[in-house]
Amino acid sequence: EGHTIRSAPSVQKAIETLESEEIEVVLTDLKMPRHGGMELLREVRARWPRTLVVVVTGFASVETALDAMKSGAFDYVRKPFRIDQVRETLRLAAQEHEFETTREAMRDPVREATALAASGRYEVLLLGEDRVPATDHLSVESFDPNDPSGLVARVEEFVVGHANAAVVVSGVERLLEHHRQEDIVAVLDRLRARLEGHGPLRVGFNPRRVSTQAAAALGSAVASEETHSTLEALANPIRRKILHRMGEGPASFGEAMRAAGLDDSPKMAFHL
Amino acid identity for residue 194 in this structure? R
In a domain, 253, yes or no: no
Name the percent of the chain lying above pLDDT 70: 90
Kindly report whether the global pTM for this prediction surpasses the value 0.75: no
70 with 145, same domain: the answer is: no
Mean per-residue pLDDT of the chain: 86
pLDDT confidence band for 61 (50 / 70 / 90): low
134 with 196, same domain: the answer is: yes
Alpha-carbon gap, residue 169 to 205, rounded angstroms: 9
In a domain, 218, yes or no: yes
Q: Last residue of a domain, which of 67, 82, 97?
A: 82
3-class SS of residue 129: coil
User: Half-sphere exposure (CA, 13 Å, Cβ side) for 207?
Assistant: 11
In a domain, 236, yes or no: no
> Which residues neighbour 164 within 8 Å (Cβ) at sequence distance 6 or greater?
121, 122, 123, 198, 199
Among 232, 259, 196, residue whose Cα is nearest residue 96: 232
Q: How far apart are the first and last CA of the chain?
A: 32
In a domain, 178, yes or no: yes
Domains in the chain: how many in total? Answer: 2
37 with 78, same domain: the answer is: yes
Among 33, 57, 65, 44, residue whose Cα is nearest residue 266: 65
Q: What pLDDT score does 227 carry? A: 55
Q: What pLDDT score does 239 carry? A: 87
Q: What pLDDT score does 226 carry? A: 52
In a domain, 173, yes or no: yes
pLDDT at 212 over 70: no
In a domain, 187, yes or no: yes
Alpha-carbon gap, residue 99 to 220, rounded angstroms: 19
CATH number at residue 13: 3.40.50.2300
Alpha-carbon gap, residue 172 to 209, rounded angstroms: 10
CATH number at residue 207: 3.40.50.300
pLDDT tens-place string over residues 26-59 = 999 988 777 888 999 999 998 988 899 999 887 6
Which region among 56-65, 76-85, 108-117, 250-259 has the lowest average model confidence (pLDDT)? 56-65
Which structural domain, as residue segments, surrounds residue 196?
Answer: 109-231
45 with 147, same domain: the answer is: no
pLDDT tens-place string over residues 156-183 = 999 999 999 999 999 999 999 999 999 9
pLDDT tens-place string over residues 215-247 = 777 776 776 555 556 666 677 889 889 988 988
Q: What pLDDT score does 142 carry? A: 93
CB 166 within 8 A of CB 125: yes
Q: What pLDDT score does 78 carry? A: 85
Amino acid identity for residue 109 in this structure? P
Q: What pLDDT score does 11 carry? A: 92
